[in-house]
Amino acid sequence: MNVVTLSRQLGSQGSEIAEIVAQHTGFRLIARELINQAARRAGAPEVGLAMIDELNLLGLKPSPAQTLAYLNAVKIVMEEQAIAGNVILVGRAGQIVLARHAQAVHVRVIAPVALRVERVALRLRIPVEAAHAQVEASDRYHQNYFKRYYKVPWDGSGLYDLIINTAKLTPADAADLICTLLGKCSCRETLAD
């Protein structure tokens, strides 16, 4: 296995986990760059902005044609990255786009809502109520994105090879599980070196 798609809930520490796995496997980590590259290919940078604007703060409304061009560009970029291998693709429905890719492992990182809210509030230094609103808005955005564009539930367990709940795991522990699944050296072994 040399491709990881990683889906994560806001506040689940999925991005930190992806960074640790990348560090200890030597895999390239691609997240926001994927959106930017796809938006450039689609010739619509505002679509890329709209796709990352989970809270709809920018009020961007790309046309259906722009959105379709963007989604096709994301697919092409992901497939190119997967063919190159040794990559972790964060977000953008990689688990669906690369569902049939023989070398891909699909991981989802979750945590209980209350814990995610607490983490977001601490990280952003905002009130718990504001963090709760962000977590709910993010979950709603992702659920709608998957339903609208891929006709599947974002949280459908059948989309993933491994689902990690970070309620009782540190990011390093979670990364170690992914490294083990990849058949790579344990992140713990690498950390001890």
Other CB atoms within 10 Å distance of the CB of residue 131:
22
Other CB atoms within 10 Å distance of the CB of residue 172:
14
Q: What single-letter DSSP state applies at residue 66?
A: H
Rounded CA separation 183/173 (Å): 15
Q: Which residues pair with 104 in a beta bridge?
A: 3
Architecture of domain 3-31+86-187: 3-Layer(aba) Sandwich (3.40)
pTM of structure:
0.88
Rounded CA separation 91/68 (Å): 17
| Mean pLDDT in residue range 128-149 | 94
Rounded CA separation 9/139 (Å): 7
pLDDT band per the 50, 70, 90 thresholds, residue 13: very high
Taking only the tens place, the pLDDT of each residue in 28-78 is 999 877 767 777 777 766 666 666 655 566 666 777 887 888 888 889 989
Q: What single-letter DSSP state applies at residue 55?
A: T
Taking only the tens place, the pLDDT of each residue in 148-166 is 999 999 889 999 999 999 9
| Mean pLDDT in residue range 115-125 | 98
pLDDT band per the 50, 70, 90 thresholds, residue 17: very high
Rounded CA separation 65/71 (Å): 10
Cβ-count burial of 192 within 10 angstroms (0-12 exposed, 13-18 middle, 19+ buried)? exposed
Contact 141, 93 (CB under 8 A): no
